[in-house]
Amino acid sequence: MRRAVATAVVLAAAVAVPLTPVSSSAASPYKGANTAAVQDDFNGDGYRDLAIGAPDAANGGVEAAGSVVVLYGSASTVGATRRTVITQATTGIPGDPEEYDGFGTTVTSADLDRDGYADLIVGAPDEGVSGKSSRGTVTVVWGGPSGLKGGANIAPPTGFGDGRTYCRYGMSLATGDVDGDGVPDAAIGSDCEGATYRGPFTRAGKGTYDDRGSDFGATRGVVMGDVDGDGKAEQFWLPGPTDGDLRGPVYVITEQEGRVELPYADGHAGAIGDINGDGYGDLVTGISTDDSMSGGPAGWAHRGGEIQVLYGSAQGITAGQKPKVYQQDTAGVPGAAENGDMFGQSLSIGDVNKDGYADVLVGAPGEGVGTHKTAGTAVLLRGSAAGLTTAKAAGYTQDTAGVPGTVETGDQFGAAVHLADLNKDGKAETVVGAPTENSDGCVWVARGSASGPVLKGSANICGKSTGITVHGVKGYFGAALGSPHVEL
């Protein structure tokens, strides 16, 4: 089984939970791809919602079938009571829960059918298809005035992975408007090849297939976002480690230039946001595997892992740019670089204090805390007019005053991280997954403020409280959030 973590982790349990009734008003007609109003507002009440993957959750007696829990945003942010749980046993969701499918390994969202409600997109890269192990599936669950209901598979293109079995379709997901028509498009990574679909999508899950990305082979990461201010999202494909580049090559595909390699850039997963407030998206990539973890040749990330930043401009991100690199040996970054910290395993971009500069949250689930190995940490680096800075940087663990819970060996706090404004105050909440905490897994949620995340009164929401049940194995709730993580 797969897991992008240092310790072996298996299994959880979830049951289908009815949608908790929530009051909502219909969203206005769709006006643009991935706007804050509809990007992850599944019920149209004006508040962004939080999707949490529990890919090792059981369904009844079926171990590791997987599930996704959605917590609905509100003026008081999210909690365990206003929720729904989606599995492959949920009415209207295609497929059947089977052992080790991993439904919920990756999650993202966009209004694919342009009805004004965000739709949930779920990857199950370990699902077997037509007798082929780990072929993988991607499912879209449709948003609406009463929340998420019904779904369809986004099928891979004809000839996808011919002759291959372990393609793991859905191991990375991204959405964005690549042609500027106001309709979100979707890109899907796998161990075989990438696939892009132009929207709008029908309720049968069909978009228009575009072969961009299909010639990369394995595509561990895919990122979409506007880095040149033209209203069109560029696509960045991150194949992952190759024989000649263990740190992972980075390619950009634009409407004007086609495919361009960025020779100075590296990364296995990435995200885009405006860190320096100049109106252009900036690309942040993460490489969490260092030489101590590889079991093979040297040449991976800096000891303990790293992130890289490339800044957008009117010319976009060009081949001649050299990234700014941050790791735990960088002055001002909390912690110290140690073998297997996995700094950069997860990352997210958002403005936690409403100063107009996007901040970057980085997960390092392999970080030891005191004598507790792989307890994990999350590090917040601040955006500024000069770009990403270590000024006012902060690190959070379950040993940090005000963070609920107790630091324990193997919790993997930081395996997934997410920044999103869930209470509509203009300041992003900080969300950190600890998928191997206790038997079910938990997420930590802290409100944003002018000074950053508010630790006092922050919440630890665990899988059991959201409807997940656990038998004899771990739950892995919090392994995936709406921001990217490195999926091995």
- Model pLDDT, residue 460: 96
Phi, psi of 310, rounded to the nearest 5 degrees: -120, 130
CA distance linking residue 307 with residue 286, whole number of Å: 4
- Model pLDDT, residue 165: 86
Helix (H) or strand (E) holding 294: helix 291-294
DSSP 89: T
Picking from 191, 121, 130, 185, the residue whose alpha carbon sits closest to that of residue 153 is 121
- What is the value of pTM for the model shown? 0.93
- Model pLDDT, residue 264: 98
Q: Give the strand pairing for 377-382 and 359-364.
A: antiparallel
pLDDT in tens, 346-369: 999 999 999 999 999 999 999 999
How many C-beta neighbours within 10 Å does residue 457 have? 9
Picking from 324, 221, 304, the residue whose alpha carbon sits closest to that of residue 270 is 221
How many C-beta neighbours within 10 Å does residue 459 have? 16
pLDDT in tens, 297-346: 899 999 999 999 999 999 999 999 999 999 999 999 999 999 999 999 99
- Model pLDDT, residue 17: 32
Task: Please check whether residue 135 is in contact with residue 129, taking contact to mean a CB–CB distance below 8 angstroms.
Answer: yes
| Helix/strand/coil percent split, the chain, to 5 | 0, 30, 65
- Model pLDDT, residue 37: 62
- Model pLDDT, residue 454: 98
Tokens standing for residue 307:
């992130």
Tokens standing for residue 411:
């919790």
Q: What is the full per-residue pLDDT of the chain (488 aa) written as tens digits?
A: 333 333 322 222 233 333 333 333 344 444 444 565 678 999 999 999 999 999 999 998 899 999 999 999 999 999 999 999 999 999 999 999 999 999 999 999 999 999 989 999 999 999 999 889 999 999 999 999 999 999 999 999 989 988 888 999 999 999 999 988 888 999 999 999 999 999 999 999 999 998 877 778 889 999 999 999 999 999 999 999 998 899 999 999 877 778 899 999 999 999 999 999 999 999 999 999 999 998 888 999 999 999 999 999 999 999 999 999 999 999 999 999 999 999 999 999 999 999 999 999 999 999 999 999 999 999 999 999 999 999 999 999 999 999 999 999 999 999 999 999 999 999 999 999 999 999 899 999 999 999 999 999 999 999 999 998 777 778 799 999 999 999 87
Task: Please check whether residue 181 is in contact with residue 210, taking contact to mean a CB–CB distance below 8 angstroms.
Answer: no
Q: Is the peptide bond before 18 cis (omega within 30 degrees of 0)?
A: no
Alpha carbon distance, N-terminus to C-terminus of the chain = 10
Sequence-separated (6 or more) residues with CB below 8 Å from residue 141: 86, 93, 119, 120, 121, 122, 148, 149, 150, 151
- Model pLDDT, residue 26: 40
Task: Please check whether residue 139 is in contact with residue 191, taking contact to mean a CB–CB distance below 8 angstroms.
Answer: no
DSSP per position, 97-157: --TT--BTSEEEEE-TT-SSS-EEEEEETT--BTTBTT--EEEEE---TTS---EEE-PPP
CA distance linking residue 88 with residue 90, whole number of Å: 5
